[in-house]
Structure 1
Amino acid sequence: MLKRQPIGVFPGTAGFFLLPPIDHADTIMPSLLQGFMPKPCPKEWQFFLAAIEGEPVERVEELLPETPEGHFNRFILYPEKEYYEKAKSMLEEDLLLLLDAVAWRFNMKQEPPCYEDKTVGEIRAFILATHAYDAFQQNNWIKGIELLEEAAQAVQDISPIFSARLLSEAASTKQSLGMVDKQLIELYKTALKLIEQSPFEDMRAELTFQLGTAYQELADGNKTYYQEAIKCYNKALKTFRKDQYPENYAMIHMNLALSYIAMPPNAHNYQLKNAMAIQSLREALRYLDKEIHRDLWCSATINLANALQYAKSSHIEDNLWEAVALYEDVLKVRRKETDPHGYARLVANQGTALSHLGAFSSAVPKLTEAKQIFKELGDKESAKVVEDMLQEIRMKQEELSKQ
């Protein structure tokens, strides 16, 4: 048996495979654990290369060697009882624990295997991660995160990519639970440092994007954090190009825009940051499909309309009419019945843009409708803001009538 195994290094099925021993494996394994396949690939490991390259399952099976590792891998390809029993009869010690951990992930075992303290390295990390997923299934999120971090620590020195994948899972789970703090930032940074020499560009870009979102969520008016988020998003865009990853590209530009909008302004940067936000929102909308990404499309369109409405420009009137049209586009798909608050804000924003244009006869019905919905929802503050706008329009209409 090889002393080290590349479990958890490569994405997909290959991340579960075991490799049979070959001559000079010790010299190959360090770079393999960093994600680099040896060239040429040893004959005994051709099945592994086939899996990494996405060849059909049947082709991968053809290449499996008749070794204990080969039977373990056949169970990965076909998680059925007969293949489990065959692999079990040929494996021993830590690999038996690993087999049962995989069986649990395939819902063939009710509980993950217990593990001895002597279990070390990548196998210990895999089993600890399995216990983490079990904790998540029981909604024990804190325990699961702690187990993932322990697993990452157990394998960090020997399999940095596997460690980084475990840390990224822990970090994304924390973030999804709203546990956004400086420790989360450090988790993402540690994971990124572990993969900085690896060939996994997509993984690096995804982690960089996630780090950006963590900075953005934590910012709360902190200009430095917004700047760090923007740096992360621009770095991620170098990999997530619009021609290959249109959805990722659009999502990053959405976040870029929101960072620019939220960044505290000063006398020098207000106009520039608003212009950058508008540019990013336009880019996002070029690659968001209204039907497929409806919520994201609505959000980007509304944010663009809002940014245009308050942009300082020599084309203020053009911007305002474009904002009115964008609000109208969203109103065609957003219903009062499903989201009354969102609908009321949208109508109020459109009414405000119309009032800035002096189109009072169109603005007043919009603002009146918005005020009524806010009152029905018990949102007195928003209703008061709209009423103040209506009062301002009435005063302007009186002035005009006197001229």
Structure 2
Amino acid sequence: MAETTSMAIIAPAQLATRPQPVGAFPLPAGYLLVPAGADTEDARLTLLAGREPAPWPARMRAHELALSGDRDAALAALTGGDVVTRYNRFVLDPDGVADLDALRADLGELGPLVDVLEFVLGRSDTPPERGDTDGEIAALVLSAQAADALGRDEPAAAVALLDEAAELAPAQPLAGLLLGAAASVCLENDGLGDGATPRLEKALKALDGADGLRVGRAELHLALAGALHAQGTERPDLVAKAIPHYHSTLQLILRAEAPDMWAAAHSDLAAAYLTMPMIEASDQLRLGVAVQSLRSALKVYTPETHPERWASTQLNLANSLVYTPSKHQADNLVEAVEIYEAVLEMRDRETDPLGRARVLANQGNALAHLGMFDPAKAKLYEARFLFEEFGDHSSMRSVRGVLDEVARQQTLIKTQEQP
């Protein structure tokens, strides 16, 4: 239904107290304005802090419904004719607005939010202008401009705009999310990666206590864990620093609400544990934890939905089963052999010969541990041939070593069997 414009306009400053909690929560709820009033003030401050009001004031029933995902009911709850209500109806139903220019003008200093939303929703290709905006409005304008810079393949400009937006944001949670966005751009673009870790650390401090933004915080913890983990080759101590952030990710989210992130945290946590050196006997407990995390990740990863992640997680699980001390070592080895066989179906000789060779080598090693020497040799010979064909001499020598050990074991068995 088109919006009517015949109603009296009240100055927006009287209807919406700034700063407004816009930009931190997901769309559409995250762009709704909070109407001014003694009954809504505590809720405004709570939302600014990144938390959900409890209870919600009656005049913010639409906000509550929108945040729970019930857009239609939220729209039905907006029955007033003031400019804030009109704007909130626009957020929930952009096609229902007949005159955007009138809405923008009636909103006064809040008017640029119309242009921000139009750009964010993809209804306009032109990013909003900064003009004389300030505070949270300026921060959202700059954030939209950063998205435009990314679209023009200018990541450095996008990072600078997001950094400036974070400085202007009056509320810490919004500033934290903007810094997190800047860090993500750094991670995804060569030459900017060094700036990711300090931004992520600062972002997480800004979001501390923002319980209503659990998913956003979890994403930042996972990104920081990944950034630290990636540097572990040169600085192994950073892998240990990454692990608490993987755990924080898993403490903040449930599988049902963010399955991909939950699975990635489990899978990457296991990988971190598996790469850490085993110094003390108690360190072997990490292998058991890694196995459980890998099994958890495989509740989400399947060959159909996540073929690459499924294959790499399965490989890590099989490798862990081979080397994790257990009273059921033989059962673990049999399971590992079966997992390797399943992964081989994904590792085609034509498209990924070296990947196939590595799986064959691992499977051959597991078969050898089970005493199944003839099947082990068949797998190892194929692996050695592939490594030799593609010039991986180090791996070829490793496979030869396993084959030599298999030969020694077979000779020893024959000697023991002789009368």
TM-score (structure 1 length as normaliser): 0.86
1:5 corresponds to which letter in structure 2? Q
1:176-195: per-residue Cα shift (whole Å, max 9, x none)? 33678674333222222222
The answer on 1:135 being equivalent to 2:146 is no
Equivalent residue of 2:211, what SS?
A: coil
Supply the distance in 2 between the matched residues of 1:106 and 1:282 (Cα, whole angstroms).
38
> Match of 1:197?
209
Paired residues of 1:148 and 1:169 also in contact (CA < 8 A): yes
Q: Any residues of structure 2 matched to 1:290-369 within 5 Å, and which?
A: 290-313=303-326, 315-369=328-382
Match of 1:96 in 2: 111
**CA spacing shift, 1:337–1:66, aligned 2, 3 Å:** farther
Residues 1:13 and 2:28 aligned together: yes
The range that moved more, 119-128 or 23-32, is 23-32
Matches of 2:326 and 2:42, distance apart in 1: 63
- 2:187 is aligned, of 171, 175, 190, to 175
State how far apart, in whole Å, the 2-side matches of 1:326 and 1:312 are: 18
Question: In the alignment, is the contact (CA less than 8 A) between 1:163 and 1:191 conserved in 2?
Answer: yes
Q: When the two structures are aligned, how many residues end up with a matched partner?
A: 399
The residue type equivalent to 2:294 in the other structure is: L
Q: What's the secondary structure of 1:228's corresponding residue?
A: helix
User: Comparing 143-152 with 250-259, which one deviates more in the overlay?
Assistant: 250-259
Q: Relative to 1, partners in 2 of residues 1:98 and 1:166: Cα closer, same or farther, differing over 3 Å?
A: same
Find the counterpart in structure 2 of residue 212 from structure 1: 225
Measured in 2, the distance between the counterparts of 1:400 and 1:35 equals: 68
Note the residue ranges of structure 1 that are not aligned, 5 or more in a row.
none
Which amino acid in the other structure matches residue 202 of structure 1?
V
Q: What residue in structure 2 maps to residue 187 of structure 1?
A: 199
- Say whether residues 1:105 and 2:105 are aligned partners: no
What TM-score does the superposition give when structure 2 sets the normalisation length?
0.83
Identical positions, percent:
33
Aligned residue in 1 for 2:64: 49
2:75 corresponds to which of 49, 54, 60: 60
- Residues 1:228 and 1:351: Cα distance change in structure 2 (over 3 Å): same
For 1:319 and 1:36, locate their aligned partners in 2 and report how far apart those are by CA, in whole Å.
46
One-letter amino acid of the counterpart of residue 119, structure 2: W
- Find 2:284's aligned residue among 247, 251, 271: 271
Residue type of the alignment partner of 1:90: D
> Any gaps of 5 or more consecutive residues in structure 2?
1-12
The alignment status of 1:87 with 2:103, answered yes or no, reads: yes
Opposite residue 196 of structure 2, the aligned amino acid is L
Task: State the alpha-carbon separation in 1 of the partners of residues 46 and 215 from structure 2.
Answer: 19
1:122 maps to amino acid: E
Residue type of the alignment partner of 2:344: L
Cα distance change of structure 1 residues 27 and 167 upon mapping to structure 2, 3 Å threshold: same
Q: Does the alignment pair 1:235 with 2:248?
A: yes
Conserved 8 A contact 2:383-2:399: yes
Give the whole-Å Cα distance in 1 for the aligned partners of 2:358 and 2:30.
48
| Cα-to-partner distance string for 1:224-249 (whole Å, 9 max, x where unaligned) | 42232222222333333457665544
- CA distance, structure 2, for counterparts of residue 265 and residue 254 of structure 1: 19
Query: How far is 1:33 from its partner?
Result: 1.0
Mapped to 2, the partners of 1:284 and 1:258 lie a distance apart of: 12
* Alignment-derived partner of residue 153 in structure 1: 167
Alignment of 1:162 onto 2:174: yes
Q: CA deviation at 1:139?
A: 1.2
Distance 1:311 1:46 in 2: 54
Which amino acid in the other structure matches residue 184 of structure 2? S
CA displacement at 1:399 relative to structure 2 = 5.3
Listed one character per residue, the Cα deviations across residues 360-386 of structure 1 (whole Å, up to 9, x for unaligned) are 211122122222223333433333332
Instruction: Tell me what 2:383 maps to.
Output: 370
When structure 1 is superposed on structure 2, of 120-129 and 329-338 the one drifting more is 329-338
More displaced stretch, 207-216 vs 146-155: 207-216
Q: Residue 222 of structure 2 contacts residue 246 of structure 2 at CA under 8 Å; is this kept in 1?
A: yes
CA distance in 1, matches of 2:92, 2:257: 29
- Give the residue type in structure 2 aligned to 1:197: G
String of CA shifts for 1:310-352, please: whole Å, max 9, x gaps. 3344554443333212211222444333322212211111112
After superposition, the Cα gap between the structure-2 partners of 1:42 and 1:395, relative to the gap in structure 1 and judged at 3 Å, is closer
Give SS of 1:366's match: helix
Letter of the 1:10 counterpart: F
Contact 1:128 1:147 in 2 (8 A): yes
Counterpart of 2:277 in 1: which secondary structure? coil
Aligned amino acid, residue 75 of structure 1? F
Assess, with a 3 A threshold, how the Cα gap between structure 1 residues 287 and 78 changes in structure 2: closer, same or farther: closer
Q: 2:393 pairs with 380, 383, 387, which one?
A: 380
Deviation larger for 353-362 or 83-92 = 83-92
Note the alpha carbon deviations across 1:162-220, whole angstroms, 9 max, x for none: 11221221222322336786743332222222222223233333333333222222222
Give the superposed CA RMSD.
3.0
> 1:363–1:217: structure 2 CA closer, same or farther, 3 Å change rule?
same
Partner SS state of residue 206, structure 1: helix
Measure, in 2, the Cα distance between the counterparts of 1:32 and 1:273.
40
